[in-house]
Chains A and B, each alone.
Chain A
Amino acid sequence: MVNGQGKNTIIRMFNVSKRYGKMEALSNLSLEVRKNEFIFVTGPSGAGKSTMIKLLYMGETASSGSILVDGMNLARISRKQIPMLRRKFGVVFQDFKLISTKTVFQNVALVLEVAGLKPKEIYPLVMDVLECVGIEDRSEEFPPVLSGGEKQRVAIARAMVGTPKIVLADEPTGSLDPDSAAQIFQLLRSVHERGATVIIATHDQQMINNHDGRVVRLVKGRMDCEN
């Protein structure tokens, strides 16, 4: 293992900073995440939560510092390895990011197509996760006809289907009504129970108060307190 990364550590951020031009979105952030942890990243809007999530799956690259994910040093990997890194993650967004011209089934199946699985192998895996999030009866619908809660369930199915080691969720309940939000939260719990490391960025304090899990609080790009 690199840089003393322990057996149980899956993510290690050390002195990570991210600048957008002159604006520093993250400053000297250090964080270690163990396997199968359930973590909330919280803080006010603009604190750098989304930026931190993006750095992990290399939606953005850090300006300085080092990030290790499951043994991969993000500063060292080549462009060609980025897809391999991203397959370690399932990512859920506030705005769902579903492809509106593909059916629910196709949206979820895409993850496995991308990974090179055959249609025969893909079908049962996709139906299984769709059942798991309770949306199997809408598998041939297109995302625009679904409600917000249903779309987010599809997104969670997509994040689960490849059985990634880590699931990232950036404000997953941000545009949902309280009932749907609770359901989505339960689903993320079950993803965690299945063995994934789950990191949720949210500014929904109530959700955090009601649930167990480590809380990482960011303010203006810096770690505020950790418990």
Chain B
Amino acid sequence: MLMLDAKRVLTDIVNNKFLHMVSVVTIALSVFIVSSFSLFFNNATDFLDAWRKGVRVITYMSDNVTEPQRTELMETIRNLGGVAGIEFISKDDAYNDLKEKIGQQSSLLDGLDKNPLPDSFEITLADSYRRLEDIEKLSQNIGGLPHVEDVEYAQKWLYRFNGVYNLFKVTGLVLVSIFFIATLLIIANTIRLIMYTRREEIEIIRIIGADEKFIKYPLFFEAVVHGFLGGVAGILMLYLAFILTVPNFAPATVFSLFEIRFISVKFSLTIVLCSMMIGWVGCFFSIRKFLKI
């Protein structure tokens, strides 16, 4: 039975190449767009996470702070909400650190007669306290304390990036739903067209005693095959686009923190499965309208 069905489906796909191709290509495009959004999100989320985990609020102190004042300041900061840890970095430590980091060129520093770096605190944040608004508020609070010269946490553009991320998240969800519905309608419509082009055949098959299953199964089979082919093609398209464009980003320093990943195998399989399921549902809807005796 299954073999016969598969054969019937294949002959039909050959007979109606164009119809089937349009359906598969449209599904492939939808899958491509939806999965590129996912690709973007997975990576943007990873990126923001990586950055948030690494975020440290650096507090630079004014030059003439006495040790008791420093200890007091440290205690005050430690007691602020969201502060997980605080470490004192003396100007000398900072100087040696810098010297080590620039290595070969450390002779440049020899030209300075005095260490230009200030004393500082490096503050790490509690896990629950990594939203940008929180960080912003915290650094404002610290900035208002006595003996604090400057507070620094990260580049401003990251803040903007977060805004863009949220905007994309909303439009992404809307787009995904639109494409979901569009794909469903396209499959339903294709199946309806197939049934229309085959209405005489279906009529004949009925007269010779076919039951509904015999008529329905190949149609479901076709819709699910469309979903499968479209899903796989869409993901292959994305992969192609990925390997062609991503190497161009790689040297940028921002991305050195983490690696841009392609969507996972599991997620790709989920997308293909979803696309097959959409095929099934689309077929279900058009058949319900068409196949009442």
A and B are interacting partners: yes
Q: Could you list which residues of chain A lie within 8 angstroms of chain B, going by C-beta atoms?
A: 57, 59, 79-80, 82-84, 86-87, 91, 97-99, 101-102, 110-111, 113-116, 119, 158, 162
A39 to B293 CA separation, bound complex (whole angstroms): 29
A54 to B269 CA separation, bound complex (whole angstroms): 50
Q: Are A87 and B209 in contact, with the CB atoms below 8 A?
A: yes
Nearest A residue to B214 via CB reads A114
Cross-interface CB contact of A101 among B1, B201, B214, B293, cutoff 8 Å: B201
Residue B2 at the chain A interface, CB threshold 8 Å:
no
Q: Are A86 and B293 in contact, with the CB atoms below 8 A?
A: no
Chain B 1-20 interface mask (CB, 8 Å, partner A; 1/0): 10110000001000100000
A225 to B4 CA separation, bound complex (whole angstroms): 49
- 29 CB contacts below 8 A, A to B, read A80-B211, A82-B293, A83-B206, A83-B210, A83-B211, A84-B209, A86-B206, A86-B209, A87-B209, A91-B208, A97-B200, A97-B207, A98-B204, A99-B200, A99-B204, A101-B11, A101-B15, A101-B201, A110-B205, A111-B208, A111-B209, A113-B4, A114-B205, A114-B208, A114-B209, A114-B210, A114-B211, A119-B3, A162-B209
For A79, the chain B residues whose CB sits under 8 A away are 293
Q: Are B201 and A158 in contact, with the CB atoms below 8 A?
A: no
A122 to B205 CA separation, bound complex (whole angstroms): 17
Q: Which of B1, B11, B201 has the most CB of A within 10 A?
A: B201
A98 to B203 CA separation, bound complex (whole angstroms): 11
CB proximity of A160 to chain B, nearest CB, Å: 12
A102 to B209 CA separation, bound complex (whole angstroms): 17
Chain B 179-212 interface mask (CB, 8 Å, partner A; 1/0): 0000000000000000000001101111111110
CB proximity of B291 to chain A, nearest CB, Å: 11
For B293, the chain A residues whose CB sits under 8 A away are 79, 82
CB proximity of A198 to chain B, nearest CB, Å: 17
Can you add 13 more A-B contacts, CB < 8 Å, to A84-B209, A102-B11?
A59-B207, A79-B293, A86-B206, A86-B209, A87-B209, A91-B207, A91-B208, A97-B207, A114-B209, A114-B211, A119-B4, A158-B208, A162-B209
A116 to B210 CA separation, bound complex (whole angstroms): 10
CB proximity of B256 to chain A, nearest CB, Å: 60
CB proximity of A148 to chain B, nearest CB, Å: 18
For A83, the chain B residues whose CB sits under 8 A away are 206, 209-211
Nearest B residue to A116 via CB reads B1
A102 to B200 CA separation, bound complex (whole angstroms): 13
CB proximity of A220 to chain B, nearest CB, Å: 27
Task: Please report which residues of chain B, range 200-257, place their CB below 8 angstroms from some CB of chain A when the two chains form the complex.
Answer: 200-201, 203-211, 214
CB proximity of A78 to chain B, nearest CB, Å: 11
CB proximity of B290 to chain A, nearest CB, Å: 15
CB proximity of A112 to chain B, nearest CB, Å: 10
CB proximity of B285 to chain A, nearest CB, Å: 20
A111 to B3 CA separation, bound complex (whole angstroms): 17
Q: Are A97 and B211 in contact, with the CB atoms below 8 A?
A: no
CB proximity of B222 to chain A, nearest CB, Å: 15
CB proximity of B188 to chain A, nearest CB, Å: 23
CB proximity of B203 to chain A, nearest CB, Å: 8
For A115, the chain B residues whose CB sits under 8 A away are 209
Q: Are B201 and A86 in contact, with the CB atoms below 8 A?
A: no
CB proximity of B255 to chain A, nearest CB, Å: 55
CB proximity of A108 to chain B, nearest CB, Å: 10
Which 10 A-B residue pairings sit nearest by Cβ, starting from the closest? A86-B209, A87-B209, A83-B211, A114-B210, A83-B209, A111-B208, A99-B201, A97-B204, A101-B15, A114-B209
Nearest A residue to B15 via CB reads A101
Q: Are A110 and B15 in contact, with the CB atoms below 8 A?
A: no
A110 to B7 CA separation, bound complex (whole angstroms): 13
CB proximity of B216 to chain A, nearest CB, Å: 13
A162 to B214 CA separation, bound complex (whole angstroms): 17
Q: Which of A84, A102, A113, A119 has the most CB of B within 10 A?
A: A113
For B204, the chain A residues whose CB sits under 8 A away are 97-99
A97 to B208 CA separation, bound complex (whole angstroms): 11
For A80, the chain B residues whose CB sits under 8 A away are 211
For B209, the chain A residues whose CB sits under 8 A away are 83-84, 86-87, 111, 114-115, 162
A114 to B218 CA separation, bound complex (whole angstroms): 13
A57 to B206 CA separation, bound complex (whole angstroms): 10
For B205, the chain A residues whose CB sits under 8 A away are 110, 114
A87 to B214 CA separation, bound complex (whole angstroms): 14
For B3, the chain A residues whose CB sits under 8 A away are 119
Nearest A residue to B16 via CB reads A101
Nearest A residue to B204 via CB reads A97
A87 to B15 CA separation, bound complex (whole angstroms): 28
